[in-house]
Amino acid sequence: MFIEPNLKGERRGWIEVVCGSMFSGKTEELIRRLKRVKIANLKVEIFKPAIDTRYDESNIVSHDTNSILSTPVESSQSILLLSEGVDVVGIDEAQFFDAEIGNVCEQLALKGIRVIVAGLDMDYLGNPFGQMPALLAKADYITKLHAICVKCGNIANISYRKVALEGQVLLGEKDVYEPRCRHCAQAK
């Protein structure tokens, strides 16, 4: 994809969302797209929620340890302030952002910016997660990725929580979560 000018010569932006369960390759796909944009010499800003320090405080890091430098931010409004003069904005772990993330992405797209967002579409219970439903509704392009169920080998769409802790947000990796299909997630 590229930013195509309209008939008046203005750039047109859009929103791409990469979603799925943990271990499905969302961050890997985000990093792949952003690296391609950098090869094209487009100006890029990349953001992640400050709450996500699992692998690194600044870098976005996939489970396969692929990484790209990003700016941790406390709120989605900071993304608007830090995105002046860019061609592309990348955002990881969108489910952890506040209620304004969808509007922020919309404003960026209206400014002619390509916005690439990655995040969990469902929580560990299989319920919609955070602001992802609103982002999916606003998206021009959606890529849904799947992991492989560790129990049966079918496609997995649930980030099954292996520990008995309450609350929708619990940062963790393979020690806390594993990918499961809907049937194996119910079997416990």
The domain spanning residue 107 has which CATH number? 3.40.50.300
Domain holding 76, by residue range, is 14-146
* Domain contains 119: yes
Which pTM was predicted? 0.85
Give me the pLDDT at residue 176, please: 81
In the DSSP assignment, the letter for residue 185 is H
* Domain contains 68: yes
pLDDT (average), residues 6-12: 66
Question: Which of 95, 59, 103 has the alpha carbon at shortest distance from 79?
Answer: 103
In the DSSP assignment, the letter for residue 16 is E
* Domain contains 98: yes
User: What's the pLDDT band for 11 if we cut at 50, 70, 90?
Assistant: confident
pLDDT (average), residues 92-110: 96
pLDDT at 166 > cutoff 80: no
pLDDT at 108 > cutoff 60: yes
* Domain contains 171: no
* Domain contains 126: yes
**Domains held by the chain: number:** 1
* Domain contains 58: yes
Q: Which residue has the higher pLDDT, 188 or 29?
A: 29
pLDDT at 129 > cutoff 80: yes
Give me the pLDDT at residue 78, please: 96
Measuring CA to CA, how many Å separate 61 from each of 36, 53, 64, 81? 17, 10, 8, 24
Q: Are 1 and 36 in contact (CB under 8 A)?
A: no
User: What's the pLDDT band for 3 if we cut at 50, 70, 90?
Assistant: very low
Cα 104 from Cα 117, distance rounded (Å): 12
* Domain contains 6: no
pLDDT at 16 > cutoff 60: yes
**Catalytic residue check, 29:** no
* Domain contains 35: yes
Amino acid 81 reads L
pLDDT tens-digit readout, 30-89: 999 999 999 999 999 999 998 875 666 666 666 666 667 788 999 999 999 999 999 999
Q: Which residue has the higher pLDDT, 58 or 105?
A: 105
Candidates 29, 93, 100, 166; catalytic one: 93
Residue keyed to tokens 């506040």: 98
Work out the mean pLDDT of the chain and round it to a whole number. Answer: 86
